[in-house]
Amino acid sequence: MTKLQIGDKAPDFKGIDQNGSVLSFSDFKGKKLVLFFYPKDNTPGCTEEACNLRDNYSGFQQKGYEVVGISKDSDKSHMNFISKYNLPFNLISDTEKKIINDYGVWGEKIMYGKKIEGLHRTTFIISEKGIIENIITKVDTKNHAVQIFK
């Protein structure tokens, strides 16, 4: 699990989005950011989470937040995921796990009774000054926007 804490400066990041373009933390300078890490495109829990964020996207915009998702999936997989579910936000491909490791969301977890290495579903709420305001580690995929807006 992440060693980052509320009040820490959010780690810088740079990655490739669904369009093959470079997207970096500096692109969000002066903006509030919901940065959500999720295990895999087009899987039930991840789809539920992404669609919940999609359905509440106007609320994020009204509160001045940008929303960005990150997983190990390829940019092509992200494009398919966005197209299939009409997602209004960018998804970053982190196939080498650099951002995932910088945010400390990769590690051992239990899946179907077995220990595996994988991505821990985690959301970071980051202020316009780049400071972590909240970290959500127990994500409710069906009601994630409610967790974020608390």
Catalytic residue positions?
Answer: 46
Neighbours of 128 (CB within 10 A): 13
Please spell the DSSP secondary structure of 55-118, one letter per residue: HTHHHHHHTTEEEEEEESS-HHHHHHHHHHHT--SEEEE-TT-HHHHHTT-EEEEEETTEEEEE
